[in-house]
Amino acid sequence: MCGICVPYCPTFALSRNEADGPRGRISLALGLAEGTLAANPDVVAHLDGCLTCRACESVCPSQVQYGALIDEVRGALAQNVFSATTSLNESTQPKAAQHRWTLWRNRIFSQRQTFGRLWAVLTFFERMHLGGFIRRFGGRFGQALPPQTPSRLPRRFRPNQVANLQPANAKKVGLFIGCTGESLNSDAVRASIRVLNALGYAVEIPKVQVCCGAMHQHGGDLERAAALRAENRTVFGGADLTALLVIGTACAGELLREANSVPVIEITDFLAEIPDAEWSPLPPNPARVAIHLPCSQTRMLKQPASTERLLQKIPGLKIVPLATNNRCCGAAGLHLLMYPEQADTLRTPKLIELNELKPDFVVSANIGCATHIAAGLGAPVVHPVELVAMGL
């Protein structure tokens, strides 16, 4: 109740409504749990509008576990557990239909095949020189598309591929590529394989890996999220790996929720930790690079320095600090599609800063943020490992 977290909340900063801030949302959750508050559409909207950026949690002096709390309350809303305990007036039924849609939405967007098909359609339109038409008239989906022209059809990484097997003493790592690894994010996957091979690692990418479950976890489908994590543990657990490397800070945070038999490490952090002596010298690159820090990297993984430490391995690179890295960019999983106006407003300060600084590259270790910023900037945002791979 101290309110220290409130000024750090991006959604509170937009509406100045207590119910759109962490303290207000905790009060709403308390009211629902005690049965003094109905799960009506207004209440649901205030809880649903949270970005799960956890800026509030990182400053709370009482160490309130806000991230776990909002996941739990959304899970309870999705299962209608509050409907029988409401005691206040009018239409108290929760938006059951909306929650059913949320569950289906998460399941649709957490399929590699879905992204692959969408990417194939976009590639076709681009080749017909109709990409601009999709971006202009494709509604929110069109606006959310990054500016890069897909030059290749979705990349299908072969089942149980071991990339460029190294000599017998090579260490073998697994690569978790996420739902977008064969479409939106395939350049980062290719770059990761190249860099890891150059460092003497064989890379295994099991085709049967599934979504990390982040969208389900934050969308109230906790059971499905846990099932997906368990499936990935089984897939990678029996593969005789030194480590499971994850492309995407949000996916890494999600897979780290539970203990795994193989160490799970976000790839930027893994590469940054490899001593300089094990790297072949990278050629100098005098480019200016701005690093966008995803909330999942700073507040879930608590590794805000990984990207900079990795990029420091490239001689001559100039890192341009971003003052807007203390605030969520607005992507927040599917938030950019479900709350487009809010997502765009939250992105604006980042775009203003980048347009003033004019760096040669913008990097982000999370594909959701990268896509959202690239769509607003009209220029690519790449994964840091892609910059490293350029020198190989």
Q: How far is the CB of 215 from ligand SF4 (least distance, A)?
A: 16
Q: Give 11 or 285: the residue with its C-beta nearer to ligand SF4.
A: 11
- CB of 62 or CB of 169, closer to ligand SF4: 62
Nearest residue to 25 via CA among 48, 59, 2? 48
Coil, strand or helix at 97: helix
Closest distance of CB 258 from ligand SF4, Å? 21
Distance CA 66, CA 326 (A): 18
- How close are the terminal C-alpha atoms of the chain, in Å? 53
To ligand SF4, the closest distance from the beta carbon of 241 in angstroms equals 33
DSSP 12-60: HHHH--GGGSHHHHHHHHHHHHHTSS---HHHHHHHHT-----HHHHH-
Side chain identity, residue 267? I
**Residue number with CB closer to ligand SF4 (64 or 103):** 64
The distance of closest approach from Cβ of residue 216 to ligand SF4 in the complex, given in angstroms and rounded to an integer, is 18
- Smallest distance from the beta carbon of 84 to ligand SF4, in angstroms? 27
- Give the Å distances, CA to CA, from 117 to 45, 127, 180, 254: 31, 15, 11, 25
Nearer to ligand SF4, 2 or 392 (CB): 2
Pick 30 or 108: Cβ nearer ligand SF4: 30
Provide, rounded to whole angstroms, the least separation between the CB of residue 268 and ligand SF4.
23
* CB closer to ligand SF4, 13 vs 379: 13
Decide: helix, strand or coil at residue 335: helix
Q: Who's near 212: CB < 8 A, 6+ residues apart? A: 176, 178, 228, 229, 232, 246, 248, 250, 251, 254, 255
CB of residue 70 to ligand SF4, shortest distance in Å: 7
Question: Which residues of the chain form contacts with ligand SF4 (CB under 6 A)?
Answer: 1-5, 8-11, 21-23, 25, 50-56, 60, 62, 64, 66
Q: In the complex with ligand SF4, which residue's Cβ is closer, 155 or 257?
A: 257
Closest C-alpha to 55, from 345, 299, 254, 363: 299
